[in-house]
């Protein structure tokens, strides 16, 4: 009999958490809150003149508030999964209400019984700031007004977002004459929306050929979860934001126990896909871009530019906008861009609604597409917010206010001295990633960028804003060792993964062409990093580097002390020379032009994994590549996705593959996907304007087409590529440094000297940028796709490569190529020479692009439009236009408030961000930075613009 009585619950742990969150929360005057809410209710009564309708509106408002509130609450609370519905009540009473409304209602549990078939709990309110100073008129009482009805909606909406359907009802109310106010919450069911395991981890509505599948985070971690093993995801409308499915992540000690399991099954999944698709051929050359934005909020009164943490709300609005456009304009989905969340809670990522093809309209529509995406993002923001394509935010982690809303530095996930956990996307995967990297490493990450010594910069430079005595976390004891003098010290994943970039992904014709494309782009990576350099400021200090890459590499460096060779190997398996975010370590094309001497890095591999791959039919070069990637541990492992169908899923493979962040990524197709073998080019820094980003995208696309069409060879030793990456970071590397590059780009050519020629494509009268080229590159379907006609490595535009002595053949029965010393194949060139040529024998990358374009016989107007893009690349390389980093550095050093002490103050940062905004919109002219053809986003889009011509109706 006693077990059936309601149970009063007091949990000290939850009470302490609620008190702590209350202390850290912004406070609002209770009287003001009561009066504002009262005014809202009064206005609703006037508008609807029906108390039942007012109740519906209040509940609806509450539901929408709950939907948006839960994510922020879970992020700040850092709670794990509730063990049962009773604990949901504890969290709601002791943590949620305490931190959000400054009250702690009494919790009464209602166990399941004959009269209570479902678990329930009641919240008894001794005080309620919503009802202070309120007395309901008799008419409202008789009419059934439920004054605090909004609370029912808040609870229902919040719990539904964590897959817990409930009823919430105010069963008694002191405003209606009852002795107490009681809100009863009853469990209806746990929402279980099954998804195929191969898709549940992908970002909803994301372009699959760009994103592929990723290691799947499954259902929500937070209040309202039960400890079963079913694969559950959030309701469909929430997934549509582009958020990954949520789940229960293991903390590092538990995740570590499953690392071998994930690796072993990941390799099985890779082999399954490899054998299914290694002979796949005939895919057209598709491509697409990914651009990342920072949402910046202006505080005009205090002249401060801050990072707005409204990612979730903005993405929800963008998703609703996309739904509306799709409904109003069916069949136009390819014109509607897609937005996704990123690591930083102030970041948005955008991709086009569909991949670009090979037509000229696609090439000429890139800038218009990017402008439309920016305009669309801006339309969902507040008047004081703007989406800016900044590589790094200059004052992230600096003293003062740099987020909106403000949060003090700290939090248990990153444990940073400089940034709050609240800047991290609250999706459970991202805080867990930050926490597990720190835990695996055994310390906070330690990033040190050299300070730029200006006239008044102290020597030696010791950052006065590094707190050496905080003592809040064990990692605080190591700050003295981690923070180097004469450097800018950063200590959290957010400093790196909170940076923005421009990435281009290509679908190749076949696995062989993808491997050749991958290898060709590897030496291009550091060149484009230097050319797009855009990050000279970190933590409010001018640095002596211009790029983000090393900051990101340090921000996710999870290597232990043994793996970093600081201690002898004992518990770790390998000494690992690089972070998991770094440059490529080996070439992968299975061709004799890929000489063994090129792969000269002493990179560790998992010999057992390589043996399994080779024994199962994979060639040595590709097996070595994956055996190297799989020396890494999976960082985030979800309980719900541990056991998978390896024939239908690639989640374990992607868990490790997608957390090896290199300058170029080789991407196998996902199970069940129509998408082919892909290559992702990842080194470029995002530029300030859509014109610049489009120009760099177009240049890389044309370069790839030239590589594939002309059979170009960019091979040089990987150690020289690594050295180029180091040089690319240096201040003004474009003008001051030399880089290793291959002298002869045409011979010996990768692939076959001359495959059978494809059948010519139909005449297109110059409408395609690829007229007369192999049909797999051109993208036209007039010729039936077969291996012999759509997948030659390159056209026979020159004589076959010279070979060795007669009778000397390779394993394919073809004559061997005779090679000289590797050292004779490369030299040191300036960026100007690498891009524009040396005026003698070396044509430069622009030279081969021009050679490719010359073969197309383009219309004059078309060629002029392309040249408007290419001239930016040409002039940035020759130094007649500043790089973004140089322009930013010059702006700071010529600002009236700059004291030549390397410090970028709030005032300077505010003016810099305003100038970037004005530059992007076209309100500010900068002839030293942008060519005269530049038109800002504020200019009217011409009818001749490629994107406007095909998607003008959608842009309205």
**CA-to-CA distance for 696 and 677, rounded, in angstroms?**
23
Name the pLDDT band for 861 (thresholds 50, 70, 90): confident
Residue, of 585 and 791, whose pLDDT is higher: 585
Across 96-112, average pLDDT:
85
Answer yes or no: is pLDDT of 108 > 70: yes
- Find the mean pLDDT for residues 228-235: 27
Q: Which two tokens stand for residue 108?
A: 């009464």
**Dist CA 213 CA 266 (whole Å):** 13
Tracing tokens 């409304």 back to the chain, one arrives at 101
- Tell me the pLDDT tens digit for each residue of 190-224: 765 433 222 222 333 333 333 333 233 333 333 33
Q: What is the mean pLDDT of residues 660-664?
A: 97
Of 36-45, 391-400, 408-417, 804-813, the poorest mean pLDDT is in 804-813
State residue 331's pLDDT score.
83
Question: Who wins on pLDDT, 869 or 14?
Answer: 869
User: Under a CB-based contact definition with an 8 Å cutoff, are residues 357 and 764 in contact?
Assistant: no
* pTM confidence score: 0.76
Give the rounded percent of residues in the chain with a pLDDT score beyond 90: 61
- Reply yes or no on whether the pLDDT at 862 is more than 50: yes
What mean pLDDT comes out for the span 344-370?
Answer: 90
Residue 813 vs residue 842, higher pLDDT: 842
pLDDT tens digits, 143-173: 899 998 999 999 998 888 887 889 999 999 9
* Token pair for 607: 């010999």
Helical axes 844-854 vs 860-878, angle rounded to 10°: 170
Q: Which of 313-322, 450-459, 603-612 has the lowest mean pLDDT?
A: 313-322
Q: Single out the residue of 238, 938, 353, 250 nearest to residue 655, CA to CA.
A: 250
- pLDDT of 801 higher than 70: no
Beta carbons of 715 and 587 less than 8 angstroms apart? yes
Question: 39-61 pLDDT, tens per residue?
Answer: 888 888 888 889 999 999 999 88
User: Are the beta carbons of 75 and 421 closer than 8 angstroms?
Assistant: yes
DSSP 404: E
Q: Would you state the structure tokens that stand for residue 385, as one six-digit string?
A: 């917010």
pLDDT for 74: 74
Residue 538 has pLDDT above 80, yes or no: yes
pLDDT class of 285 with cuts at 50, 70, 90: confident
Average pLDDT over residues 595-599: 96
Query: Cα(751)–Cα(591) distance, rounded to whole angstroms?
Result: 6
Angle, vertex CA 158, rays to CA 112 and CA 433, nearest 5: 105
Q: Does the CA dihedral 851-853-859-864 come out positive or negative?
A: negative
Q: How far is the C-alpha of 638 from the C-alpha of 440, rounded, in Å?
A: 16
**Residue pLDDT, tens place only, 760-776:** 333 434 433 333 333 33
Q: What is the pLDDT of residue 782?
A: 33
The per-residue pLDDT for range 514-527, each reduced to its tens digit, is 999 999 999 999 99
| Among the ranges given (1-10, 620-629, 680-689, 730-739), the one the predictor scored with the smallest mean pLDDT | 1-10
Lowest-confidence segment of 487-496, 641-650, 938-947 by average pLDDT: 938-947
Chain Cα centroid distance, residue 616: 34
Give the position of tokens 């530029």: 687
Is the pLDDT at 572 greater than 80, yes or no? yes
Residue 693 in this model has a pLDDT that exceeds 80: yes
pLDDT at 624 over 70: yes
What is the pLDDT at residue 884? Answer: 98
Q: Tell me if 250 sits within 8 A of 632, measured CB to CB.
A: no
Closest CA to 892 of 880, 882, 879, 905: 905
* Paired tokens of 85: 């519905």
How high is the pLDDT of residue 194?
A: 35
Contact assessment for residue 214 and residue 680, using Cβ atoms and an 8 Å cutoff: no
Specify the residue for token string 């600081």: 566
More confident site: 32 or 199: 32
**pLDDT recorded at residue 280:** 92
Mean predicted confidence (pLDDT) in 123-151: 86
For residue 785, the tally of other CB atoms under 10 A from its CB is 16
Per DSSP, the residues of 343-360 read: SBTTEEEEE-SS-B-SBH
Q: What angle do CA 196, 200, 204 make, to 5 degrees?
A: 125
Q: Residue 823: what pLDDT?
A: 94
pLDDT range class, residue 69, cuts 50, 70, 90: confident
- Token pair 């297109």 in the structure block, residue: 764
Question: What pLDDT, on the 0 to 100 scale, is given for residue 778?
Answer: 37
Per-residue confidence band for 103, with pLDDT thresholds at 50, 70 and 90: confident
Helix extents (H) in 563-619: 607-615
pLDDT at 31: 65
Instruction: Give the rounded percent of residues in the chain with a pLDDT score beyond 70.
Output: 81
pLDDT for 418 equals: 97
φ/ψ (deg, to 5) at 262: -65, -45
* pLDDT at site 71: 73
pLDDT of residue 102: 78
How many whole angstroms separate alpha carbon 912 and alpha carbon 394?
Answer: 9
Query: What is the C-alpha separation between 367 and 374, in angstroms, rounded?
Result: 11
- pLDDT level of residue 560 (50, 70, 90 thresholds): very high
**What tokens appear for 808 in the block?**
């000397």
Predicted pLDDT of residue 255:
95
């Amino acid at each position: 009999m006693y077990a059936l009585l309601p149970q009063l619950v007091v949990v000290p742990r939850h009470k302490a958490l609620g008190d702590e969150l209350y202390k850290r929360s912004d406070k609002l005057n209770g009287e003001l809150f009561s009066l504002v809410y009262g005014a809202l209710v009064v206005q609703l009564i006037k508008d609807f003149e029906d108390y039942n309708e007012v109740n519906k509106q209040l509940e609806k408002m509450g539901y929408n508030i709950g939907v948006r509130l839960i994510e922020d609450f879970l992020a700040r609370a850092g709670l794990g999964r509730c063990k049962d519905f009773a604990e949901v009540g504890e969290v709601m009473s002791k943590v949620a209400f305490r931190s959000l409304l400054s009250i702690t209602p009494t919790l009464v549990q209602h166990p399941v019984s004959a009269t209570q078939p479902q678990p329930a709990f009641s919240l008894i309110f001794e005080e309620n700031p919503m009802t202070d100073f309120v007395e309901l008129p008799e008419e409202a009482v008789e009419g059934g007004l439920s004054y605090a009805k909004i609370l029912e909606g808040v609870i229902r909406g919040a719990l539904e977002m964590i897959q817990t359907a409930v009823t919430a009802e105010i069963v008694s109310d002191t405003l209606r004459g009852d002795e107490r106010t009681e809100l009863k919450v009853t469990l209806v069911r746990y929402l279980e929306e099954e998804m195929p395991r191969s898709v549940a981890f992908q970002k909803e509505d994301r372009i699959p050929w760009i994103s592929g599948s990723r290691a799947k985070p499954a259902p929500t971690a937070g209040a309202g979860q039960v400890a079963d093993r079913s694969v559950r995801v959030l309701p469909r409308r929430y997934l549509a934001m582009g958020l990954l499915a949520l789940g229960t992540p293991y903390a590092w000690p538990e995740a570590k126990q499953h690392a071998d399991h994930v690796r072993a099954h990941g390799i099985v999944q890779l082999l399954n896909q490899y054998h299914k698709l290694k002979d796949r051929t005939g895919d057209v050359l598709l491509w697409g871009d990914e651009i990342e934005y920072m949402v910046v909020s202006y505080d005009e009164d205090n002249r401060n530019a801050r990072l707005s943490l409204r990612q979730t709300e903005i993405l929800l609005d963008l998703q609703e906008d996309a739904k509306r456009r799709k409904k109003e304009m069916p069949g136009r989905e390819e014109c509607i861009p897609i937005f996704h969340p990123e690591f930083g809670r102030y970041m948005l990522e955008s991709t086009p609604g569909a991949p670009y093809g090979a037509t000229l309209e696609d090439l000429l529509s890139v800038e218009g597409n990017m402008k439309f995406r920016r305009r669309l993002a801006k339309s969902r923001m507040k008047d004081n917010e703007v989406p800016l394509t900044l590589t790094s935010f200059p004052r992230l982690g600096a003293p003062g206010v740099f987020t909106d809303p403000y949060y003090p530095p700290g939090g248990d996930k990153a444990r940073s001295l400089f940034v709050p956990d609240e800047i991290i996307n609250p999706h459970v995967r991202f805080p867990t990633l930050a926490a597990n990297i720190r835990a695996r490493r055994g310390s906070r990450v330690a990033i040190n960028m050299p300070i730029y010594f200006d006239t008044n910069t102290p020597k030696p430079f010791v950052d006065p804003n590094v707190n050496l005595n905080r003592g809040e976390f064990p990692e605080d004891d190591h700050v003295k060792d981690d923070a180097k003098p004469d450097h800018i010290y950063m200590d959290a994943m957010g400093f790196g993964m909170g940076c923005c970039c421009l990435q281009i992904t290509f679908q190749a014709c076949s696995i062989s062409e993808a491997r050749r494309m991958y290898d060709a782009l590897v030496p291009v990576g550091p060149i484009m990093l230097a050319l797009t350099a855009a990050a000279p400021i970190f933590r409010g200090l001018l640095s002596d580097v211009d790029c983000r890459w090393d900051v990101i590499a340090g921000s996710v460096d999870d290597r232990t002390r043994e793996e970093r060779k600081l201690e002898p190997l004992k518990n770790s398996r390998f000494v690992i020379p690089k972070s998991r975010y770094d440059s490529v370590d080996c070439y992968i094309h299975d061709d004799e032009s890929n000489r063994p001497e090129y792969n000269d890095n002493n990179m560790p591999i998992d010999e057992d994994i390589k043996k399994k791959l080779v024994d199962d039919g994979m060639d040595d070069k590709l097996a070595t590549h994956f055996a190297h990637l799989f020396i890494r541990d999976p960082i985030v492992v979800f309980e719900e996705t541990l056991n998978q169908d390896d024939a239908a899923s690639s989640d374990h493979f992607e868990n490790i593959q997608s957390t090896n962040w290199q300058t170029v990524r080789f991407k196998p197709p996902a199970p069940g996907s129509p998408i082919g073998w892909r290559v992702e080019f990842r080194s470029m820094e995002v530029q300030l304007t859509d014109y610049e980003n489009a120009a760099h995208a177009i240049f890389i696309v044309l370069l790839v087409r030239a590589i594939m069409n002309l059979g170009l060879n960019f091979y040089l030793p990987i150690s020289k590529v690594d050295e180029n990456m180091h040089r690319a970071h240096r201040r003004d590397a474009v003008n001051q440094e030399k880089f290793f590059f291959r002298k002869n780009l045409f011979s010996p050519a990768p692939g076959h000297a001359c495959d059978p020629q494809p059948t010519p494509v139909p005449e297109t009268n110059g409408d395609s940028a690829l007229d007369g080229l192999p049909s797999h590159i051109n993208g036209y379907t007039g010729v039936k796709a077969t291996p012999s006609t759509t997948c030659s490595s390159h056209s026979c535009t020159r004589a076959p490569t010279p070979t060795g002595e007669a009778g000397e053949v390779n394993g394919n029965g073809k004559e061997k190529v005779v090679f000289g010393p590797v050292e004779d194949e490369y030299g040191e060139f300036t960026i100007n020479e690498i891009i524009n040529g040396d005026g003698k024998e070396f044509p430069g990358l622009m030279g081969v692009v021009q050679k490719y374009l010359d073969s197309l016989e383009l219309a004059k107007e078309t060629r002029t439009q392309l040249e408007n893009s290419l001239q930016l690349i040409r002039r940035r390389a020759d130094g007649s236009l500043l790089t973004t980093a140089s322009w930013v550095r010059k702006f700071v050093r010529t600002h009236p408030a700059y004291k030549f002490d390397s410090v970028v103050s709030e005032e300077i940062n505010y003016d810099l961000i305003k100038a970037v905004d004005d530059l992007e919109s076209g309100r500010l002219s900068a002839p030293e930075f942008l060519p005269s053809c530049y038109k800002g986003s504020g200019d009217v889009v011409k009818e001749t613009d490629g994107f406007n011509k095909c998607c003008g109706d959608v842009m309205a």
